[in-house]
Amino acid sequence: EIVMTQSPATLSVSPGERATLSCRASQSVSSNLAWYQQKPGQAPRLLIYGASTRATAIPARFSGSGSGTEFTLTISSLQSEDFAVYYCQQYNIWPPESTFGQGTKLEIK
């Protein structure tokens, strides 16, 4: 099983600043990586797929980069609605396997 490790577990950033979230895979997943945002009491929302392609209606301040085992989600200028938990997910060996990271909580500093 491919293990996805996200860091940090919690990130405190002020509104208007840049946030950088990391995700590492235990083995190469090529560019088969997605990012999701989840707010309390809500379902996850797809942000990025293919490591760097924004999903429909996702603002340009969200960007993804990386390939192989190291990936980054960057939010260029944090808005109040961006404070949430973010998950990475690999789908390189789909089917049958898909694994999520443990999440990074982005909180207001």
The nearer residue to another protein, 34 or 84, going by C-beta atoms, is: 34
Residue (3 or 77) nearer to another protein, CB: 3
Residues 72-101 that bind another protein (CB under 8 A): 87, 89, 91, 94-101
- Eight-class DSSP state of 77: S
12-41 positions binding another protein, by CB under 8 A: 32, 34, 36, 38
**With contact defined as beta carbons under 8 Å apart, do 83 and 105 qualify?**
no
The least CB distance from residue 78 to another protein, in Å, is 22
Per residue in 12-39, is it b (16+ CB within 10 Å) or e — as a string?
A: ebeeeeebebbbbbeeebebbbbbbbee
Count other Cβ atoms within 10 Å, centred on residue 58: 16
Q: How far is the CB of 61 from another protein (least distance, A)?
A: 20
User: Residue 52 is encoded by which pair of tokens?
Assistant: 């760097």
Shortest distance in whole angstroms from residue 18 CB to another protein = 24
d(CA 59, CA 75): 10
Among 2, 11, 13, 55, binds another protein (CB under 8 A): 55
Q: Which residues bind another protein (CB under 8 A)?
A: 32, 34, 36, 38, 42-46, 49, 55-56, 87, 89, 91, 94-103
